[in-house]
Copies of this chain bind each other. A is one copy, B any other.
Amino acid sequence: MTVTLADVAARAGVSAATVSRVLSGNYPVAEATRARVLRAVDDLDYVVNGPASALAAANSDLVGILVNDIADPFFGIMAGAIQAEMGGGPSTVSAGAEARSMPGGGPLSLSGPSLPGAGTSGEKLAVVCNTNGSPARELTYLTLLQRQRAAAVVLTGSGADDPEHTERLAAKVAKLTAAGTRVVLCGRPPVPGALTLTFDNRGGARRLTEHLLTLGHRRIGYIAGPADRTTTRHRLEGHLAALAAHGPQTTGPVRPVVEGAAGAEIPMAAGRARPRRGSADAAHDTAPGGPPLVVHGAYDRASGYDAACELLRREPGITALVAANDTVALGACAALRDLGLRIPHDVSVTGFDDLPFSADAAPALSTVRLPLYEAGARAGRLALGREIAPPGGVAMIRAELMIRNSTAPPPGAAGEL
Contacts and interface: CB of A to CB of B under 8 A. Distances in A.
Nearest to A334: B360
Contact of A133 (B54, B104, B127, B130): B104
A13 interface: no
Give the bracket for the number of chain A residues in contact with chain B: 35 or more
- One complex includes copies of this chain to the number of 2
Nearest to A63: B127
A77 B71 contact: yes
B330 A110 contact: no
Given A80-B132, A109-B136, 7 more contacts: A47-B146, A47-B175, A70-B80, A70-B83, A104-B132, A108-B141, A334-B362
B360 A271 contact: yes
A72 interface: yes
Given A129-B127, A147-B48, A337 B356 contact: no
Contact of A71 (B80, B110, B331): B80
A60 B330 CA distance: 43
12 contacts: A47-B146, A49-B147, A104-B134, A104-B277, A105-B134, A109-B140, A117-B143, A117-B147, A125-B144, A271-B359, A301-B357, A305-B360
A157 interface: no
A129 B146 CA distance: 19
Nearest to A298: B101
A121 interface: no
A137 interface: yes
A325 to B, nearest CB: 14
Contact of A144 (B101, B123, B305, B359): B123
B360 A330 contact: yes
A179 interface: yes
Contacts of A101: 69, 71, 132, 300
A98 B277 CA distance: 15
Contact of A147 (B47, B96, B175, B270): B47
Interface string A152-182: 0000000000000000000000010001000
A131 to B, nearest CB: 9
Interface string A5-46: 000000000000000000000000000000000000000010
Contacts of A72: 73, 76
A50, A69, A179, A337 interface centre (most CB from chain B within 10 Å) = A50
A250 interface: no
Nearest to A55: B51
Contact of A140 (B108, B129, B362): B108
B105 A136 contact: yes
A70 B108 CA distance: 15
Interface string A329-354: 01100100100000000000000000
Contact of A277 (B103, B130, B334, B359): B103
Given A73-B73, A105-B137, A108-B140, A117 B129 contact: no
A407 to B, nearest CB: 19
Interface string A105-139: 11011100000110000010111111011101101
A149 interface: yes
Given A71-B80, A106-B134, A143-B117, A362 B362 contact: yes
Interface in A40-95: 45, 47-55, 60-62, 64, 69-73, 76-77, 79-80, 83-84
Contacts of A99: 274
Interface in A359-381: 359-360, 362
Interface in A287-310: 300-301, 305
A277 B100 CA distance: 13
Task: Please list the 6 inter-chain residue pairs (A to B) with the smallest Cβ-Cβ separation, ordered nearest first.
Answer: A127-B127, A71-B76, A51-B54, A117-B143, A50-B148, A51-B51
Contacts of A127: 64, 127-129
Nearest to A143: B117
Contacts of A130: 79-80, 83, 128
